[in-house]
Chains A and B, each alone.
Chain A
Amino acid sequence: MSNSDRVELLNGTLDLIVLRALDTMGPLHAYALASRLEQVAEHPLMLNQGTLYPALVRLEQRGWIKGTWGKTESNREAKYYAITQPGRRAVEEQAERWRRLSGLVNKLLLDES
């Protein structure tokens, strides 16, 4: 798989995607989160899994998610992240903003083709 096939994530979109995933699926650890993102991506979203961490820290600092140490089914320790109440509100706001932005971008792209 060449690098050009990768979908580069727009700035800020990763935060929204993570929030959304946690909102719908409940508490997840970073690996599960990464797997989930790969699952839903129609394109091969080759996420450098390490880049998840800055997003997780950012979200945790804003108080939108909260991390706690727990055990996986295979009895390994992992940090589980869960969305918080302010996080849920933020998903709504961010999603609305995203819809508006993507609508605009789509419209511009369609008009020009």
Chain B
Amino acid sequence: MRRFAERLLNLLRVRRPEQELAREIEAHRALLQEAYEARGMTPHDARRAAAVAIGGVEQAKELHRQARSFLWLEDLRQDVVHGLRLLRRNPLFTVTAAASLAIGIGANTAIFSVANSLLFRPPAAVVDSDALVDIGAARGDGGLNPISYSTYLEIARRTTSLSGVMAQSLSPHVMSLLASDTGVAERIVGQYATVSFFTVLGSPAARGRVFDGNDRHEAVLDYDYWRRRFNGDDGVVGQVLRINGRAFTVVGVADARFHGTGIHTRDIWLAISPDDGASSVVVSGRVRPDVSIGTAAAEVGAIGDAISLERGESQRPLRLSALPFSRAGGNRNIVIGFAAVLMVLVSIVLVAACSNVAGILLTRSTARAREMAVRTALGASRSRLVRQLLTETVLLYLVGGIVGIAVARVLLTLVSLLPALPTPVTVPLVLDGRVMIFALSLSLCAALAFGVLPAFKGARADAGTTMKEGIRSSSRTRLRGAFVSAQIALSILLVVLAALFVRVLRYAGGSDVGFDPRGVEIAAVDLSMSVNAQSAPQMLWRNAVERVRALPAIEMASLARVPPGGLEGIGMGGVAAGDRPDAPELSPGWNIVDTGYFATLRIPVVQGRDFTADDRVGAPPVVIVSGAIARRLWSGQDAVGKPLILAIFNAAIRRMERRVVTVVGVVGDIKSSSLVDGLAEPYVYLPMAQAQYTGMLNEMSIVARRRGNTTLESQVGAILRDLDPALVLARTESLSEAMALGLAPQRVLAVVAAGMGLVSLLLAAMGIYGVTAYFVALRRREFGIRLALGAPRVRVISMVIGQGMWLVAAGAVIGLALAIGAGRVLAVFFYGLPAMHGPTLLGSALLLGGVGALASIIPAVHAVRGDWRLALQEE
């Protein structure tokens, strides 16, 4: 082992031992010369004799070197040096090849690093994150849904395998901080967490302490917020802050590196209050050191079964489950799935880039056939040559990989171009060791997968074939063509996929969503900010919307529980036709709206009427349904006037109950939160004035259609402050922006696919150009003879282009088949998308054909240029 290490070291410091050896030999020679002189030789003769006695100094060095190091490692060193020299000598080849590889590797690396941050990198300042688990209600897709706070309490009470359990509210909320000195309400992003939150994570405090006891009126500040808002003043610890009408004592500041467990950021953590019983929480736990994660998960499942049994909910049991802790929480699988789809997309382009480089390497190996033949003649073994070619390829790929890491860095900055979420989000996208290893091993694997074949072909050089020019139909040429066809196929696949995703996006976000989002502003308001406002929400909403309607910049305004088209939706229960006991129960989308909502959004009222001011408490309960409900429950009949049974949650008594209401109107179908599936979702609208019992009127959005382009933030904000000083706007945005957010995943897919499609087109053009130029070079003599015998130039040009087109055609057939297969798979995920879209397929094939023709024109023209006569004289 020591010898191994020494030899290895020797290899690296070739120069030093060599110098030392030279010094030693020189000393030896001097002694020898001295001895010869002592025997009476002249100094000159003595010097010569001494040199002869030692033998060739270089020879001695070579012997010495062989003894010193592994021969193959020394070979490797030579190959690397040689390879680098070659790469330097052909900058154009190096740059194009490395750049195309860098794009493929960089795109893969960027996606991997996002997945890495969300799935594998534990949040900073968390102790032993491997022992943490996320806990929730098992979902069909393998993910977790949030659970109720009361279920969390049961888990905490019963568990024996977890040393601690903590919970936090679903996501941070915009809250109102009433400063004690000015009395002005400030916007603050807060999140509720159990008092066990910090201790379970093992996250310390930077100032003061984290939550420790059972005091429900404590708050911990985020470090950055503390620096920003309180200038890093230690005096804030112990202060009382009034947030959303409640008093919280600041007990400390969280660790500077700790910004929560998920992707959201917040300004403050508030201790969750026990009366939040019904609200949903995200739960995590720390597994005892002596217990395996599997055992803990099994115990959590058993606790869920026990709870369901005791609550008498055995027909809809609570299936609790635990997953490894990550930033993605219960949505792990969604992140993995989405990352996998993106990874497949960008891998296609990487494979295309590799095929391109492999093709170029093959061409180059033809050009280097003489070098190989000479080396073979001088006794280099085939394996030695393969090794050398492979080393060169690996070097090239590693250069591509290193540049790719830089490309990934640039690509990651594009993440910030995504539409903003309601509350700030940060994912620390770090290119850590894991990402580096990924990028470099990806490069290595790609180099071996796509380098071995060209290396073997390249090293097969016997003197015979090299002398002859008759290698036209050799397997190398066929392989070169195969690589180009593969590139074409992959390009077509990517172009078709890009077109497909763009169609998904247009289909989903197109004009026909059933409402007109242009010019509509949304202002979200949360009344839990103010104790006063909460006591009479109806009054406040009425006042607020009246005053917004009075603004000159506003054409129309209304209120809605959820604005359409965004990510949000509310689930409230089911509906059934009241006059037909056999009718199926539907699970519709729900909304609670004020009068004028449909006019504001330009949703047509197809039958009946809109809500009016007369639809209030005490009046007969009414409802408006979407066309889809009318068709499904009262097909062929007039739905207006029909009774509708609502199976709905009554917040006042905290129970599901049945209510019978009368349908007074039918409105047009809209594509709601699930814009993607494109199905007309059944939708039920409750009048705000009659919906007090749902307990959902605390958070509403003012929906306003504006005149002109003014943003309403300041004006609406002023109105709210005027109504209640504690109210701040949770957020304002245009409806189009909100909808864009709902389509963000599709947009990312479309942009990535389109970008990759473009890159692959470029690569395909390079590949076709390269292979055509290569054919022209091989058949120069033939073309020369043809031209000399009087063949028209056009004929030769068309021959050359034709040859390129054959490859395009072969690639196109494979590519179209792949694209149709991929379309079938995607049609499963995106409803309403035909697997085969003739124009897209045809268009892609024509596009590639055009690119192919363009790319082969230059070499074709080259074939018939004036100097073709020279080709005849070459041999």
- The chain A residues found within 8 Å of chain B, CB to CB, are 29-32, 34-35, 48-51, 53-54, 57-58, 61-63, 72, 74, 76-79
Contacts and interface: CB of A to CB of B under 8 A. Distances in A.
Contact of A79 (B27, B35, B66): B27
Contacts of A29: 27-28, 31
Contacts of B66: 54
Nearest to B10: A61
A53 B21 contact: yes
B416 interface: no
28 contacts: A30-B24, A31-B35, A34-B32, A34-B53, A35-B35, A48-B55, A49-B32, A49-B55, A50-B25, A50-B57, A50-B59, A51-B55, A53-B21, A53-B63, A53-B64, A54-B63, A54-B66, A57-B64, A61-B3, A61-B68, A62-B3, A63-B2, A74-B31, A74-B34, A76-B31, A78-B27, A78-B31, A79-B24
Interface in B30-53: 30-32, 34-35, 53
B60 interface: yes
Contact of B60 (A31, A35, A50): A50
Contacts of B35: 31, 35
Given A49-B55, A51-B63, 5 more contacts: A50-B56, A50-B57, A53-B60, A54-B66, A76-B27
A15 to B, nearest CB: 11
Contact of B67 (A30, A50, A54): A54
Nearest to B62: A54
A61 B68 CA distance: 8
Contacts of A78: 24, 27-28, 31
A50 B55 contact: yes
Contact of A61 (B6, B24, B31, B60): B6
A48 B27 CA distance: 16
Contacts of B59: 50
A37 to B, nearest CB: 12
A62 B32 CA distance: 28
Contacts of A74: 31, 34
Interface of B: 2-3, 6-7, 21, 23-25, 27-28, 30-32, 34-35, 53-57, 59-60, 63-64, 66-68
B22 to A, nearest CB: 11
Contacts of A32: 31
CB-based closest 4 A-B pairs: A50-B60, A50-B55, A31-B31, A48-B55
Contacts of A61: 3, 6-7, 67-68
Contacts of B24: 30, 53, 78-79
A75 B27 CA distance: 11
Nearest to B17: A57
Contacts of B21: 53
A79 B56 CA distance: 20
A57 B68 contact: yes
A98 B356 CA distance: 61
B67 A72 contact: no
B31 A57 contact: no
Contacts of B57: 50
A79 B55 CA distance: 19
A35 B39 CA distance: 14
Nearest to B64: A53
Contact of B32 (A31, A53, A77): A31
B28 to A, nearest CB: 5
A93 to B, nearest CB: 18
Contacts of B34: 74, 76
Given A50-B59, A57-B68, A62-B3, A72 B31 contact: yes
B55 A58 contact: no
B67 A58 contact: yes
Contacts of B54: 48-50
Contacts of A77: 23, 27
A105 B394 CA distance: 51
B68 to A, nearest CB: 6
B854 to A, nearest CB: 62
A53 B67 CA distance: 9
Contacts of B32: 31, 34, 49
Query: Which of B6, B27, B35 has its CB near the most chain A CB atoms (within 10 A)?
Result: B27
A54 B7 CA distance: 14
Contacts of B27: 29, 31, 76-79
Contacts of A48: 53-55
A49 B35 CA distance: 14
B25 A53 contact: yes
A30 B60 CA distance: 13
Contacts of B30: 76
B66 to A, nearest CB: 7
A78 B54 CA distance: 15
Contacts of B25: 50, 53
A30 B56 CA distance: 16
B55 A54 contact: no
Q: Which of B23, B28, B31, B63 has the most CB of A within 10 A?
A: B28
A62 B7 CA distance: 11
Given A50-B54, A50-B55, A30 B6 contact: no
**Residue in A49, A72, A74 with the greatest tally of chain B CB atoms within 10 Å:** A49
Nearest to A55: B67
B32 to A, nearest CB: 6
A57 B67 contact: yes
B584 to A, nearest CB: 85
Nearest to A31: B31
A78 B24 CA distance: 6
Nearest to B63: A54
Given A57-B67, A57-B68, A63-B2, A51 B31 contact: no
Contacts of A72: 31
A32 B67 CA distance: 22
A34 B24 CA distance: 14
A76 B57 CA distance: 20
Nearest to A58: B67
Contact of A49 (B6, B53, B64, B68): B53
A29 B791 CA distance: 80
Contacts of A31: 27-28, 31-32, 35
A32 to B, nearest CB: 8
B28 A30 contact: yes
A97 B23 CA distance: 35
A73 to B, nearest CB: 10
A32 B2 CA distance: 29
A74 B3 CA distance: 35
Contacts of A30: 24, 28
Contacts of A53: 21, 24-25, 60, 63-64
A21 to B, nearest CB: 16
Contacts of B6: 61
A35 B35 CA distance: 10
Nearest to B31: A31
A60 to B, nearest CB: 9
Nearest to B58: A50
Contacts of B63: 50-51, 53-54
A38 B31 CA distance: 15
A54 to B, nearest CB: 4
A57 B63 CA distance: 10
B366 to A, nearest CB: 41
A23 B596 CA distance: 109
A49 B31 CA distance: 12
A43 B534 CA distance: 115
Contacts of A57: 64, 67-68
A43 B176 CA distance: 105
Nearest to A48: B55
B5 to A, nearest CB: 10
